[in-house]
Amino acid sequence: MVSFLRARFRRLIIGLFSAVLLLAVLPAASAASPPSVPWTWGSNSFGELGNGNTTARTTPTAISLANIIDIHGGREHVAALRSDGTVWVWGSSQQGQLGLGDRVNRPNPTQVASLSNITAVETGHNHTLALRGDGRVFTFGLNTDGQLGDGTTVQRRTPVQVSGLTNAVAIAAGRNMSYAIRADGTVVGWGRNAEGQMGDGTTVRRLTPVRVGTLTSVVGIAGGRDHGLALRSDGTVWAWGANAYGQVGNGTTVNRTSPVQVATGVSEVIAGAHHSYALRTNGQIYAWGRNYRANLGDGTTTARRTPVTVRNITTAVSIGSGRDHGVAILADGTARAWGANLTGQLGDGSLTNRSTPVVVQGVTNAVKSGGGGQGYSVILVD
């Protein structure tokens, strides 16, 4: 009930207040969330389940890390934020994405000692972002397209500061690009731009932040494999970038180098590899894009160029996405998952893909979906 009321309150705020006020409180709201414990399931070849081994699991289990208020899964690594502002990581470190100074995988949560006063964490495929309370953003990991934003393409195994960004209030990441919402409600991006991921009207790679289109009053941001999503304070969703599977959601398969509007009445956005999700203010979930592994949860495997509704979900309060699957937390604290399940990432005890949501086994009092990666999932449970 606490998570349900918190979600309803957030939606009310979006409808009543200006974007400037919303953005000013976003980090504080995250930090005030009830501390929780991560639960994980699915593939575990790199220790991405954080339970001390590399054995895959088809059902969820808690890991030994308490007081977590934010969590996100990359391709094969996880970043978690504790209520004391410290960052904890586990899983693959092959590209330095754990920020621990080496390329040694970690099957147990390990603190990134050089980071403090952090208010949000995010993961790309093989890089990680951390937002500090002073509005600066720190990054580490793979940097082949400049996704770390430090003006280079040099891999970083320890955190570096994003160049020229001092007033960020929210962060997001895709495969080889990154985004931030600034305190004035505008969005900046950096990294790969061959498919229009920067939304700046070009396909020129950006090694430091540039503004994404002319978007204003933005309160939410997400990155897919090669496309971006933004949520404005009026509940509209805007998208740009790669669109071969309809993941932009505007009815075409033409890449978009500038943002286009695709939905209304939304309170949260998230992106998978080639698909997108939007949590509606009525508790339903929109989905669009690639659907070859039932990613969209609409009962089919048909790609959708415009939003369709995920079946049988009417009380969602948090959504997350892995590469080809979705995970939603409902108002009663249970979890649902759909899509690809080749490594047990749906948590229903099977290895069968699901075209409509199924119950994630053994989960109660869940409060946040952290999505997942190539073949695993992570959530927070009170």
* pLDDT > 90: percent of the chain: 91
> What average pLDDT does the segment 349-353 reach?
98
pLDDT tens by residue, 206-215: 999 999 999 9
pLDDT tens by residue, 169-222: 999 999 999 999 999 999 999 999 999 999 999 999 999 999 999 999 999 999
Contact 168, 118 (CB under 8 A): no
Average pLDDT of the chain, as a whole number: 93
pLDDT confidence of residue 219:
98
Nearest-angstrom CA–CA distance, 362 and 349? 10
Which distant-in-sequence residues (6+ apart) come within 8 Å of 154 by Cβ?
143
- Extract the tokens encoding 154: 């040099």
Q: One-letter amino acid identity for 108?
A: N
pLDDT tens by residue, 11-30: 443 443 333 333 333 333 33
Domains of the chain: 2-381 (2.130.10.30)
The model's pTM is 0.92
pLDDT confidence of residue 34:
56
pLDDT confidence of residue 129:
99
Q: Is residue 92 scored above 60 in pLDDT? A: yes
Q: Is residue 7 scored above 80 in pLDDT? A: no
Contact 45, 55 (CB under 8 A): no
pLDDT tens by residue, 273-326: 999 999 999 999 999 999 999 999 999 999 999 999 999 999 999 999 999 999
Nearest-angstrom CA–CA distance, 285 and 311? 8
Put residue 277 in one of left, alpha, beta given phi > 0 → left and psi -120 to 50 → alpha: beta
Q: Is residue 36 scored above 50 in pLDDT? A: yes
Strand order in the sheet with 304-309: 266-271, 275-280, 285-289, 304-309
Q: How confident is the model at residue 32 (pLDDT cuts 50, 70, 90)?
A: very low
Q: Is residue 337 scored above 60 in pLDDT? A: yes
Residue linked to tokens 């705020």: 13
Give the end-to-end CA distance of the chain in Å, rounded to a whole number.
12
